[in-house]
Amino acid sequence: MSATQVVLVAILAVAVLAALAAFSIASRRTTPDWRDELDGRALKSDRSKVPAVVGAEEEPLVESVPDLPVEEPATVQVVEVQRVEEVSPEEAGVTRRQFFNRATLALFGTFSLTMGGGMLAFMWPNLKGGFGSDIDAGTIDEIRTQVFQADGSITPLFRPDARAYIVPITDDELAASQFVDKGLAAGGFMALFQRCVHLGCRVPWCGTSQGFECPCHGSKYNYTGEYEAGPAPRNLDRFVVELSEDHFIIKTGQIIESPRAPMRSVSYPQGPSCIAIESAEG
């Protein structure tokens, strides 16, 4: 039985009970006839003496109708329904094909910008004149004045923009080395890359030994950059150099590697070492 049927049955039952109650109340309120309560013989003996009494008119009885329970109105739940209207491509402005085409173009443009930015960053040193481009280190006379000391020792000229040490080399030393006829010397000087070939530490100059000595792991090189001792696998790397109107030009766009020299072109060491680490000669 559904809830509606239960409610209807309950209302019907209440109505029946209300009707019975009304009938019971109405029957109790009816005025009884006094003649019915007299004895028959007494009534017969008094009939001659007592005039007949006309009974008063009985007031009409109004049946009272009990208040029926008022049924509460059913709750109506309003549900908002969103109405979706299809929009034509002309009204929308962008079709699915246009969206995918534009997305593809955007991705391709982003990729092109990324690649172009990487290429520009790679070429930028050559454009701005920093490391990776040709560095003008000054005239040969200026370099010679700074490299050769009054006591006969040498002090390489360090160029931070080229990341290179400018070191001297005579024609005889060059002829005895593996660097002859390779464009690695000009005007009696070479340019050595500052980085140790072992693990990339910057190699400082040791004035007492007249060579380069790496404090990281003890690799040692003479002043022309030839390998002397330590774990380094080869000579110091160097750059191609040239003279342009008596100016010493270092071409830092290319780093030249060279193996360990079988024969040294200069003597090393020429004095005490600057580092405490002593490595076996390779």
Tens digit of pLDDT for each residue in 62-104?
556 566 666 666 666 766 767 766 666 566 666 777 777 878 8
Do 169 and 108 reside in the same domain of the chain?
no
Supply the pLDDT for residue 67. 63
Give the mean model confidence (pLDDT) for residues 168-179. Answer: 90
Residue 14 lies in a domain: no
Q: The CATH number of the domain where 175 resides is what?
A: 2.102.10.10
Do 106 and 220 reside in the same domain of the chain?
no
CB 184 within 8 A of CB 219: no
Q: What separation in angstroms does the CA of 65 have from each of 8, 28, 29, 86, 194?
A: 20, 15, 14, 61, 118
Do 199 and 214 reside in the same domain of the chain?
yes
Question: What residue ranges in 74-197 does DSSP mark as E strands?
Answer: 134-139, 157-159, 164-168, 189-193
Give the mean model confidence (pLDDT) for residues 160-185. Answer: 91
**∠ at Cα 169 (165, 173), nearest 5°?**
140
Q: How far is CA 93 from the centre of its chain?
A: 32
Do 197 and 100 reside in the same domain of the chain?
no
**∠ at Cα 267 (264, 272), nearest 5°?**
130
The range of the structural domain enclosing residue 207 comes to 134-256
Do 204 and 251 reside in the same domain of the chain?
yes
Q: Is pLDDT of 193 > 90?
A: yes
Residue type, 117: G
Residue 62 lies in a domain: no
Do 155 and 235 reside in the same domain of the chain?
yes
Residue 122 lies in a domain: yes
CB 157 within 8 A of CB 165: yes
Name 85's Cβ contacts closer than 8 Å, sequence gap at least 6: none
The residue among 79, 105, 128 that closes a domain is 128
**Least-confidence region, from 52-56, 126-130, 191-195, 250-254:** 52-56
Do 123 and 213 reside in the same domain of the chain?
no
Supply the pLDDT for residue 263. 86
Supply the pLDDT for residue 11. 77
Q: Taking the model in full, what pTM does it have?
A: 0.55
Do 142 and 189 reside in the same domain of the chain?
yes
Q: What separation in angstroms does the CA of 262 have from each of 103, 177, 184, 259, 278?
A: 62, 9, 18, 9, 21
Do 232 and 140 reside in the same domain of the chain?
yes
Residue 108 lies in a domain: yes
CA distance 11 to 146: 120
Phi–psi pair at 157, nearest 5 degrees: -85, 120
CA distance 235 to 91: 73
- Mapped onto helix, strand or coil, the DSSP state of residue 147 is helix
| Helix, strand, coil share (%) of the chain residues, nearest 5 | 30, 20, 50
Supply the pLDDT for residue 102. 79
* pLDDT bucket at 46, cuts 50 / 70 / 90: low
The proportion of the chain whose per-residue pLDDT surpasses 70, expressed as a percent, equals: 65
| Total number of domains in the chain | 2
Do 124 and 182 reside in the same domain of the chain?
no
Do 216 and 111 reside in the same domain of the chain?
no
Residue 115 lies in a domain: yes
Supply the pLDDT for residue 277. 46
Q: What separation in angstroms does the CA of 235 have from each of 41, 212, 281?
A: 162, 11, 13
Supply the pLDDT for residue 198. 92
Residue 178 lies in a domain: yes
Residue 209 lies in a domain: yes
Do 167 and 244 reside in the same domain of the chain?
yes
Residue 236 lies in a domain: yes
Supply the pLDDT for residue 279. 45
Supply the pLDDT for residue 106. 86
